[in-house]
Amino acid sequence: MQRSSWLGLAFLSPALIVVLLFFLMPVILTGIFAFTNMSTATGVKGGSYVLNASSLRALTDAGLPDVTRSQIESAGYRVDERGLAALAEAHGQAVAEEFSKNHAGEVFTKRRDVERALKDLSSNPIRKTRDRKAAADLFKRSILNQRYETLDAFEAALNEAGIPKPDRPLITEIAYTGWTWTTANFDLLLSLDSTWQYAKNTGIYVTFTLAFNVVFGLFLAITTFYLPAAQATAFRAIWFLPRILPPVLYIVMWRWFTWDTGFISTVLSGFGVSSKNWMLDTEYHAWVTVILINGFVGASMGMIVFSSAIRAIPASMLYASEVDGASRWQQVWYIILPQLRWPILFITSYQTMSLLTSFEYIYLSTDGGPGGSTEVWALAAFHTALNNYGGNLQYGLGATYALLLVVIGVLASLFYLRLFNFKNLLTKPRIEG
Amino acid sequence: MKHNFRNWPVLLVLFIFSLPLLIMLTFLVVDTFTTKVPGTLVPNAFTLHHFRFLWTDLDDGRWGIYGVTLNTFIFAASTAAVVTAISVMAGYALSRLSFPARGFFLGSLIVLHAFPTVTLIIAIFLILQILGLYNTLIGVIIVKTALELPFGIWVMKGFYDTVPWEIEMAGVQDGASRFTVWWKLILPQVQPGLMAILIFSFLSGWSEFVLPMVLNPGTDAQVLSTYLATLLLDTNTNSDFNLISAVGLFYALPVVIIYLIFQNKLMNIYGGGTKG
């Protein structure tokens, strides 16, 4: 390779590393996470093996034989290091040593047998029956409520407890606390009614907001183009603000405007209308607000792009049309709009993508309410995986929701690549030739 | 072009449509400096009470505003610095240097540039958990940088594309290395682009809300956007709109000032670079 090849790769490498880690990896991982049942309960990193009362119930429901179940519950008494240490603490080193010499490693199935073995020790050191019972219990070994960090440890424990081999896979599966691979997310997604509701909401949201963005953006661009310079600048400045103000502040303003103590309520109370929350009162209120909030921002962007496109139209064309007696309306319709075909296409596709995937403004304003009527797909993914009142965040299911958006995003971006005149970008560097 | 049209109907329609925004902006400023009788809209006295967060802690013992502001500044400034540094290098490589698979990298850049990044937030959240960077400022900075990069590289490449090849040829002819040519001759040419990206990514970092909310929800390294959002969404305080507006005004002030100062440079981002 030439020297400049190395320079090129060196210049590119920081960007490559960051992009690989936080762009490519998330794309792939969204696909992977969608096939897991990861949640707050399972954790992210992996899990351990625990059998408790609720897993026993689950096992019974799954058809575990009662014999095996009782085996799990009482796995017997085992003379091991731990029990001996406890015995030494309770009744002295000598007792423990003698018991260890006689019975180390033995397994008793009944407590009575352990008690007898304790009684048989020379000089019968534990006199009271109650104490002997307690001492015997020190050796009780159940796999219930024990945490096993590895699969091997858990299987060894099952083996010791004498659990029949055919039942073990089921027990292992239910005892595992970490996440597992599954396709259940997709089945769940297809079976839930709310999925279709989210899809419908997204359709409403994108269609209406997009229409508002494009039409109103065009209106702003064309009217400010014809206005005298000072007036045009003033209106452009006002309409530029939604774009540059931080989203949270923008929503603060809208909340103030529509809240039950806010502007609309206060003004209307002067006309005898009782004050109410104009953002969340009914789903129609919520939809109108959500569409206007996003529409204003989108129109702001549309105005910027369309305005610069209109300014690029040769003035001579406009003068010529006026000389020919075209009205202002004809000028807009026959000269300006045809020239704006590409900017309109650009804004439409760009806004469709960003409306499909963004949830920031809805989250801050209605948060999907009232009653889930403005819950769009992207917001549902966010709520499922990252933010809900129940507190059990279902990363896997959320990733399944997000996966659809990621797939749409990848396809749209590839389409974007085709739309571009890629050959133009590929002009060869001239120095290396 | 003033003859086939009357201005005032258009002006009126525009004005009516702009009214909500005008009202919101006016009252945002008026409300924060005045008191009103509840249920009316006309202020009756001047007050600085709504700005009390500047000199006292809020009732619920929230973090002092200056710590949060400092966090926001660190977040925005480091994002801007790293994005600019990486874009300036990568943009040059893509625009001017020849290396294997250059076409592939260019194509990927366009794809990344168009990709809606919010969709990745769940996976990124899990990645940060695994890496142990969850709930840290540094984690959010890295992620924001990564997501901002394709845009930065794209703009930088555009600026480099407008620099005449002759400048570079002359440098190489005189015996300078490609690196020296870039550093001494080309960089000064694309300075407007560099400034534009610096400012643009600073503003974008300052305004960013979703990433800090999801990836850094704790109060240790809170930024202004999440601070304001908790005030807004917190049911105890969300009736005190004057306080919220005052915090909001404080938060947005740098954005407006920076925008007013650098208006022309920011517009350059759509235009292109040098006049040479």
- Tell me the pLDDT tens digit for each residue of A151-161: 787 777 777 77
Residues with Cβ within 8 Å of A172's Cβ and at least 6 positions away in sequence, in order, are A49, A151, A154, A155, A158
Nearest CA in chain A to B210: A360
DSSP letters spanning A226-253: HS-HHHHHHHHHHHHHHHHS-HHHHHHH
What total of structural domains would you count in chain A? Answer: 2
Categorize the per-residue pLDDT at B265 as very low, low, confident or very high, splitting at 50, 70 and 90. low
Tell me the domain boundaries of chain B. Answer: 7-47, 60-271
Do A90 and A193 have their domain in common? no
- Tell me the pLDDT tens digit for each residue of B121-133: 989 998 898 888 9
Categorize the per-residue pLDDT at A286 as very low, low, confident or very high, splitting at 50, 70 and 90. very high
Is there a domain that residue A336 lies in?
A: yes
Do A124 and A241 have their domain in common? no
Residue pair B56/B211 in contact by the 8 Å Cβ criterion = no
Which residue in the set B17, B107, B252 is minimally distant from A249, CB to CB? B252
Do A100 and A198 have their domain in common? no
Do A326 and A201 have their domain in common? yes
- Give CATH for domain B60-271: 1.10.3720.10
Does residue A373 register a pLDDT over 80? yes
Which residue in the set A248, A357, A409 is minimally distant from B228, CB to CB? A248
Structure token digits, residue A349: 């596709």
Residue pair A98/A87 in contact by the 8 Å Cβ criterion = no
Is there a domain that residue A230 lies in?
A: yes
- Any chain A CB within 8 A of the CB of B120? yes
- CATH code at A338? 1.10.3720.10
Is B20's CB within 8 Å of A23's CB?
no
Name chain B contacts of A23, Cβ cutoff 8 Å.
112, 115, 117, 120, 146-147, 150
Residue pair A227/B10 in contact by the 8 Å Cβ criterion = yes
Q: What is the pLDDT of residue B117?
A: 81
Categorize the per-residue pLDDT at B241 as very low, low, confident or very high, splitting at 50, 70 and 90. confident
| Percent of chain A whose pLDDT exceeds 70 | 95
Is B107's CB within 8 Å of A353's CB?
no
Packed helices B65-96 and B224-233: angle between N→C axes, nearest 10 degrees:
130
Is there a domain that residue A7 lies in?
A: no
Residue B123 identity (one-letter amino acid): A
Residue B83 identity (one-letter amino acid): V
The whole-angstrom distance between residue A223's C-alpha and the CA centroid of its chain comes to 42
Is A22's CB within 8 Å of B142's CB?
yes
Closest chain A C-alpha to B76 CA, distance in angstroms: 13
- Tell me the pLDDT tens digit for each residue of B202-233: 999 999 999 999 998 887 788 999 989 888 88
What ipTM was assigned to the predicted interfaces of this complex?
A: 0.89
For B:71-110, CB contacts with A below 8 A are 85-87, 89-90, 92-94, 96-100, 102-103, 105-108, 110
Is there a domain that residue A431 lies in?
A: no
Is there a domain that residue A359 lies in?
A: yes
Q: Which residues of A155-192 are buried (b: 16+ CB within 10 A; e: fewer)?
A: bebbeebebeeebeeebeebbbbbbeeeeebeeebeee
The CA-atom distances, in angstroms, between B131 and each of A41, A54, A179, B52 are 19, 32, 18, 39
Burial class (CB in 10 A: 0-12, 13-18, 19+), A273: exposed
Name chain B contacts of A360, Cβ cutoff 8 Å.
118, 209-210
Do A209 and A336 have their domain in common? yes
Average pLDDT, chain A: 83
Is there a domain that residue A19 lies in?
A: no
Which domain range does residue A95 map to?
76-137
- Any chain A CB within 8 A of the CB of B175? no
Do A115 and A191 have their domain in common? no
Do A116 and A196 have their domain in common? no
Nearest CA in chain B to A402: B119
Which residue in the set B21, B25, B106 is minimally distant from A426, CB to CB? B106
Is there a domain that residue A82 lies in?
A: yes
Do A111 and A252 have their domain in common? no
